[in-house]
Structure formats: C-alpha cells, structure tokens
C-alpha cells in the first residue's frame, strides 16, 4: 500500500523536513514514486518501527483501540515478499476503515464507500467479507500479519505458519491393501467395475467406517 511521503512527518525516527526525509529515504534504500505532483512510498518498505508508528497513528485517528503488538507475527510478516506485504497492508487499511465506520452505515453502503475509497480491486462484497472474517478477534495493530493468510484463498503462496498448522493436523493412515479398495470406480483396478456416483459414495463411506 502506498502512502504520501508527507505522511511520514512526525513519525518517530523520521525527520520533519521534506529535504531531510528524502535523504532519510535514500539512506534506507526506500524507493519513492511520483503520483501526480506528490511522491509516495510503499508502506511495507519502511523500517519496522516506522511502519508500526504509522499504523498506530492511523488506528488512533480512526478512533480504534490498537491492542497488543504481536512482535513474532510482525517479524514473520517482514520476512514475506514485498508483494504479499503490500497486499496485506492494503487489506488491513480496508479493515480498519470499515471498523471505524462501525454501525453508522448499513452493509451495502459500507461496501460502496470502501470501493469509492480504495478502488474496485479487492473490495467486492465477498472480498470484504473475507477480510473482516480474517481479522475477527485480532487487534487492529496486527491486522496486516493476520491478513497474509487471505492470500491462500487467491492462489498465492501459503505462509509458513499455515503450512505448520496443517502439518500438525493428524492424518489417517490407510494401509496399502485397503487403499486398493478405495480406488475410484472408473480405474481399471477396482474389483467391482463401474459404479454409479451414489454407489461410489456409499462404497467409500462403508470402507471408511470399516477402518
């Protein structure tokens, strides 16, 4: 997510002078992009303390309680690719925006306002519903790390945390001789030949029950 360079003023560790900010960005190898007559930077490219300071300021401005900073989650977040971080930051901003609106507007108007504010990309009703579901029960200051998981729904690489969670799930081991009996009916190895779909489902169910 891109923010105006001028918004960096007042953040801890960042100079207040425009020229000094440009020099500070150069020292940290942070690229600026011209947007109209102003310059922007990618929020996820900022050093972690500065990024946190910006997020906390935006949360306070939205009238939300930031919550407890999850250092481990943010450390893992900074290890992800720039594209993944950027997408998650943008979704976090959308989530904070919607929460700041609260119950002032009905759902349909919230969707319309989000699309007007953030553009059409990623602001469809299903997308926003996924965003809000992903941050449910999460402190606003940790929204971006939490929203990295949403990439798995869109085909992007899974996070290490999700892979670890899935690896811990117990998997039922089926012996090789039983696997043969569970093969789909249209394979040449199935002992009962061709079966209808209902027969197939019953066969699989009965086989699993018998394990």
pLDDT at position 179? 37
Does the residue 39 lie in any domain? no
* Between 177 and 29, the higher pLDDT residue: 29
Three-state DSSP state, 34: strand
Does the residue 142 lie in any domain? yes
Does the residue 14 lie in any domain? no
Lowest mean pLDDT among 16-20, 79-83, 173-177, 199-203: 173-177
Q: Are residues 74 and 159 in the same domain?
A: yes
Does the residue 31 lie in any domain? no
Residue 91 has pLDDT above 90, yes or no: yes
Q: Are residues 148 and 203 in the same domain?
A: no
Q: Are residues 151 and 51 in the same domain?
A: yes
* Helices 107-118, 125-134: inter-axial angle, 10-degree rounding: 100
Q: Are residues 110 and 155 in the same domain?
A: yes
Query: Structure pTM?
Result: 0.56
The residue range of the domain holding 107 is 44-167
pLDDT at position 196? 52
pLDDT > 70 in the chain, percent:
69
Angstrom distance (rounded) from CA 86 to CA 1: 5
Q: Are residues 101 and 162 in the same domain?
A: yes
Q: Are residues 109 and 181 in the same domain?
A: no
* Between 7 and 196, the higher pLDDT residue: 7
pLDDT at position 27? 92
Token pair of 201, please?
């489902």
Split into its structural domains, the chain has a count of 2
Q: Are residues 151 and 50 in the same domain?
A: yes
What value does the mean pLDDT of the chain take? Answer: 75
Residue 190 has pLDDT above 70, yes or no: no
Does the residue 128 lie in any domain? yes
């Amino acid at each position: 997510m891109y923010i105006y360079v001028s918004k960096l003023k007042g953040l801890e560790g960042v100079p207040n002078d425009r020229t000094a900010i440009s020099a500070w960005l150069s020292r940290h190898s942070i690229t600026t992009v011209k947007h109209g007559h102003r310059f922007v930077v990618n929020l996820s490219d900022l050093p972690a303390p500065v990024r946190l300071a910006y997020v906390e300021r935006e949360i306070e401005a939205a009238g939300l309680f930031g919550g407890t900073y999850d250092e481990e989650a943010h450390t893992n977040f900074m290890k992800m690719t720039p594209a993944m971080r950027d997408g998650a930051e943008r979704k976090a901003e959308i989530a904070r925006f919607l929460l700041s609106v609260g119950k002032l507007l009905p759902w349909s108007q919230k969707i319309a306002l989000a699309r007007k504010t953030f553009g059409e990309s990623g602001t469809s009703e299903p997308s926003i519903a996924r965003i809000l579901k992903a941050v449910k029960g999460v402190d606003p200051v940790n929204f971006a790390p939490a929203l990295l998981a949403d990439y798995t729904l869109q085909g992007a690489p899974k996070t290490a945390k999700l892979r670890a969670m899935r690896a811990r799930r117990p998997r039922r081991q089926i012996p090789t001789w039983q696997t043969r009996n569970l093969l789909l009916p249209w394979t040449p190895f199935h002992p009962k030949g061709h079966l209808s779909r209902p027969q197939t489902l019953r066969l699989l169910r009965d086989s699993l029950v018998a394990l």
